[in-house]
Each structure stands twice: as C-alpha cells, then as structure tokens.
A and B are shown apart, each in its own frame.
Chain A
C-alpha cells in the first residue's frame, strides 16, 4: 500500500526523495481524500438531516406541547401527559387494533399466494414465460390504480363483483362495517401479488435443481419435496418478505384514503390514516406527533421481534 502512496507525476519510478517530502505528500493526499469523502456524503446527509433526523426529533418535542385551538396562539407545555392521553384514547387503541388486523389479514395470505404461484410457475413447461409475466403483472398497479379498479368492481350500482354475488344495489362491502377491512385487505393482497410472486420466484431460482432431483430420486412426492426441500431453502426469502411486507402493511395509507376514508365507523381507520386525519382535519400536530412516535415504536419493536424469532428458524445454509 505504502509503495503506491505518492502523487508523483512519474509514478512508475517513485522519486526516492528524502523521507519528509514523501511524508508530507502522503499527508496532503490523505487530507484531500478525507475532504473528498466528506464532500461526497454531504448531499445525502443534508437531505437526511432536514427530512429524516430533524423531523424525527421534532416529533418528540411536538408531543410535549398541546397544539392551540387556533393557529397563531402559543403552544402550551403539557409534558408527557399528552403521550398518556393520546395512547390511552379510543382513537389510538382502535387504530392500533385495526392496523394489527390489517397486517394479519394481508401479510401471511399475500406471501402464501405469491409462493404458491411461484412454485407453480417454477417448472419447465412450454409458454411458462407468459404465465410468469401475467403473475408479476400487478406490480405495475400503484395503490391508486388498484384502488380505483376495485372501487368500481365493488360499486353498489355498477360493480361486477357485487352483481355476481347478487348484491347489486345493496351495501358495498366497503361500507359494511363487517367487511370493509377485509375488502381493503383483499385489494392490497391483489395489488402486491405481483411483487410477492417476483420475490418468491427469485428465491426459488436460487435453490439448486440438483436438490429437487436428489429428493425425487429418493422417492419424495411433490408435497414432501415442497415441505422438506423448498420451504427450508426458501426461508431467508420468506423471512425477508415477512419483515418487509409487515412494515409496508403497517404504513398503508393510499388504499384507505381512496376506498373507505377510515370508515365505516372507524373500522378501517389504520394508524397512518389516523395521523393524517389528526393533522389535516383536527389541525392537531401535537397529538399527531404522539401517534407518529407510537407508529415508529411499533415498527421498531416489530422488526426486532421478527428478527429474533425468525433468526432461529431461518436456514442460511446455501
């Protein structure tokens, strides 16, 4: 390393000059590299500082003050009492419950369906490429596109799903307290199916074919091969999909805003939507900040718990 550390114009023959000169050159080069390093990370750090770290810290501060009923009036220090009040309020407990339900409805089924399609499409058949493209096709649907498609499918007057289920003219499932969250979850699963399929397929492609062949030679049936070869080898992928999927589901907002606006009777009022409403309908950013911190804490705990539990069962042997 030290042999190359010169910025001499003729590097092939490093000038065998006196020690101090080389030392000084090396030092100057080091300083230059150091400054360049800082300059290169600076743009990112400015963005992070302004739009990640600063608002994150500010949220904690906002939570300590009660927001005035009219803008312009001074904030009043209320300390931790606002945290206690908000976290024990019906708004929070209900949103928390709804969000957990939503995650449980979407994540396991979404992963299972993606895995099922991926296993089916992971075979040598003529024209299988077409099916792969079809199964991944829903990645092109954004939350808004998927929501609009389902909004019309579930419309009480013109919705085809309502019509086929003999429910034309009656309540849309989105307005039915019993079914609203299930309907929103169904839309979300469909929208994310393409992504789930792509991730699972990529995982399957990483499993060496010889293992399947070996299992087949040993007389393992297709279910046994799935259970004893595919699943264990796919566990890192499943683990990744569970973590990322849960975090995404915890932060769902668009489909709620477009499909139900939190209703009927708060049955789909997930946490992010509750935060949004608290900010824009109630103009109460102090309360919203507490909700946001709770959302952050839940995400953090969830990630850590998942890491802990899944780490033990995940096979990383490749």
Chain B
C-alpha cells in the first residue's frame, strides 16, 4: 500500500497522524487534569479540529489560486509546488484577453443585472398587490404564483428554447428577446413566485395603520410603496437582491442552450476547461476570476446574504 503512495502524501499522513495523536492526548488532559488546565486543553483541541477542517475545506480553492500563479510546466512537475516563491501573473492577462474571460464577465454582469432588477421590481409590485390591495381572485392568483415554484426550470427549459426562437421572429421585439440576445438569457427569470412571496410577507408584517395614515396624508399607492413600504422592507429587499444575484450569476443550463454568442462566465468556463495541459494555468486563472465577484459580495454583504439564503429555513 505505502509503496504506491507518493512521498508527499506519506509526509501528509504523518503530519495528520501526529495532529490526531496530539488531539487525543489533549483530550485525556482535558478529562483528567485540574479544571484550569483542562479548559485550556479543551480549547486547544477545538482549535486543532477547526484548523484541520478549515484546511480541508479551503484546500481546493487554495491550490487553484496557487496553480493560477505558476507556469504551466511547474503545475505538472512532481513533487507539486504548494508554496510558490515566484508569482507569475501572466495567466490572468491571458485568461482575460485570449481566454475571453473579460467579455464573459461583462456578459454575466449584464444578464445578472437584468434578472436582479426584473425580479426585485416584479416581486415588489406583486407583493404589494397581495398585501395592500383587494381584487377578485386574489387568493387564486396567489396560489398560481406559488405553484410556479413546483415547476422546476429543468422540466421546461427546452420548450422555453422553442418559445424564445419563435419570439425572435416577432418584428422589433425579436431583436431583444430572440435567441442569442441578452434579453433571451434574462427573460424567463424576470419574475419568481419565491420573490413575490417574500415581499408579500415583508409588506404584511408592516403595521396596518401605516397605509391608513399615509392615505390621510394624501399618499397614493405608488408614493406609499416607494416612500414608505419599500424602505421599511429594506432588509427583505436586500436579501432578495443578493439571493437573485447569486442565482442569476450561477446559472448554467439556460445560458448554455440559449446563447452561443453572449457566453456568460459559467458557460465560458466550459470552454476554458477544454484547453491543452500546457495552458492549464490559464484555466486556473479563469476559474479564480469567475469566482471573484461573488467573493466580493460575500465579504461585503455576508449578513444580508445569509438572510437571503436561509429565508424560510429558520421559520420553517
């Protein structure tokens, strides 16, 4: 068995074994020693465990970043370089221009912007109507909204493709939403049942008297929505925006089939995955670039993002 293993891996196993033995020893100290020392030992043990797990989770990301900064022949060299001494940034410029990652990112930004804007606007409108207005068949229409969540996009994507092709033949409009346009990439996702539901809940949690008071001040529905309801529902709007952004940015199936001309970055990566091994550092650089926008969002909006991703999870 050990004869098959690479020397690097053996060393890794030794380090892992020593760490585990240390952890077990600390565990015994924690169980047997005086309370003051025991507490220290237990804390140290937790840190060791956390560090090991953090390493395992982060390793694939780390090695991708490292490899994007190495020349291609060094990536294939054995033993592998885990801690580069010289950083080579040229793979990034190559990925940006020759790999077209720059234009892929631009396309992704345009499509994501369209989808997020559309979703937030339609969800706010519909949520407002469900929360503050009375009209016949309101409950039926609301159930219709919710039922869209039962039809996964994977079930209808190829039929939608035919629809988009047909829409492309419509004069004028076809130029914007026909096959191979930004519009085609965005239009099926401009409204979601989930978004409308989320906004409805947020609006319904506002005090009822608010609308009455605003009406006494002569506020019409639109002014009330824009000046009062939406600002008060800002946490939900933020969560919905971030959720929609992540969802739109990560889409794969629809951009793959609906546009060959405007490739989003996810589909562009598919192209990059087919380069030869002597350019593999460009693939790594492209992969890193594709993840950067979401990384920035995660670092800035961690709280709102968590709220968006867990909407409904905690309240069940």
Is A236 engaged at the interface, CB distance under 8 Å to the other chain?
yes
The residues of B that contact A163 with a CB separation of less than 8 Å are: 6, 8-9, 78, 80
CB pair B152–A299 under 8 Å, yes or no, is yes
User: Which of B64, B75, B152, B153 makes the CB contact (< 8 A) with A149?
Assistant: B64
Binding site for B on A (CB under 8 A): 4, 11-12, 30, 33-34, 36-38, 40-41, 43-45, 47-48, 50-56, 58-59, 62, 117, 120-121, 123, 125, 128, 131, 133-145, 147-153, 155, 157-158, 160, 163-166, 168, 190, 193, 195, 198-199, 201-203, 206, 236-237, 239-241, 247, 251, 253-254, 257-258, 272, 275-276, 279-280, 285, 288-289, 292-293, 295-296, 299-300, 303, 314, 316
CB pair A40–B43 under 8 Å, yes or no, is no
Residues A247 and B134 in contact in the complex (CB < 8 Å), given A121-B50, A149-B287, A240-B313: no
The residues of B that contact A289 with a CB separation of less than 8 Å are: 159
- Kindly report which residue of chain B lies nearest to residue A148, judged by CB atoms: B287
Residues A36 and B221 in contact in the complex (CB < 8 Å), given A50-B163, A166-B6, A199-B310: yes
For residues 298 through 316 of chain B, which have their beta carbon under 8 Å from a beta carbon of chain A?
A: 298, 302, 305-306, 309-310, 312-316
Residues A56 and B141 in contact in the complex (CB < 8 Å), given A12-B216, A40-B133: no
Is B169 engaged at the interface, CB distance under 8 Å to the other chain?
no
CB pair B151–A296 under 8 Å, yes or no, is yes
| Cα separation A166 to B1 with both chains bound (whole Å) | 9
- Kindly report which residue of chain B lies nearest to residue A43, judged by CB atoms: B122
16 residue pairs bridging A and B, Cβ less than 8 Å apart: A11-B218, A30-B134, A117-B57, A138-B57, A144-B250, A148-B287, A153-B63, A158-B75, A158-B280, A160-B80, A190-B57, A202-B310, A236-B314, A258-B270, A285-B159, A296-B155
- Which among B18-26, B83-91, B186-194, B230-238 touches the partner chain? B186-194
Binding site for A on B (CB under 8 A): 4-6, 8-9, 12, 43, 46-47, 49-50, 53-54, 57-58, 60-61, 63-64, 67, 75-76, 78, 80, 121-123, 125-126, 128-130, 133-136, 138, 141, 144-145, 148, 150-156, 158-163, 187-188, 190-191, 193, 196, 212, 215-216, 218, 221, 246, 249-250, 252-253, 256-257, 265-267, 269-270, 272-273, 277, 280, 283-284, 286-287, 290-291, 294-295, 297-298, 302, 305-306, 309-310, 312-316
CB pair B155–A56 under 8 Å, yes or no, is yes
Residues A11 and B135 in contact in the complex (CB < 8 Å), given A142-B266, A293-B155: no
Which of A44, A52, A151, A292: most chain B CB closer than 10 A? A44
The residues of A that contact B272 with a CB separation of less than 8 Å are: 148
| Cα separation A279 to B258 with both chains bound (whole Å) | 13
CB pair A51–B134 under 8 Å, yes or no, is no
| Cα separation A155 to B153 with both chains bound (whole Å) | 32
CB pair A48–B291 under 8 Å, yes or no, is no
| Cα separation A167 to B188 with both chains bound (whole Å) | 45
| Cα separation A43 to B283 with both chains bound (whole Å) | 41
* A242, chain B: closest CB distance, angstroms: 11
CB pair A125–B46 under 8 Å, yes or no, is yes
Which of A135, A142, A165, A203: most chain B CB closer than 10 A? A142
| Cα separation A141 to B159 with both chains bound (whole Å) | 29
* A114, chain B: closest CB distance, angstroms: 11
The residues of A that contact B128 with a CB separation of less than 8 Å are: 40
| Cα separation A112 to B220 with both chains bound (whole Å) | 51
- Kindly report which residue of chain B lies nearest to residue A38, judged by CB atoms: B135
CB pair A51–B156 under 8 Å, yes or no, is yes
* B295, chain A: closest CB distance, angstroms: 5
The residues of B that contact A44 with a CB separation of less than 8 Å are: 122-123, 125-126, 145, 191, 196
CB pair B76–A158 under 8 Å, yes or no, is yes
The residues of B that contact A237 with a CB separation of less than 8 Å are: 313-314, 316
Residues A166 and B5 in contact in the complex (CB < 8 Å), given A193-B57, A199-B309: yes
* B269, chain A: closest CB distance, angstroms: 4
* B220, chain A: closest CB distance, angstroms: 9
The residues of A that contact B156 with a CB separation of less than 8 Å are: 51-52, 55-56, 59, 292
| Cα separation A220 to B123 with both chains bound (whole Å) | 47
| Cα separation A48 to B122 with both chains bound (whole Å) | 11
CB pair B12–A164 under 8 Å, yes or no, is yes
The residues of B that contact A160 with a CB separation of less than 8 Å are: 63, 80
The residues of B that contact A131 with a CB separation of less than 8 Å are: 50, 54
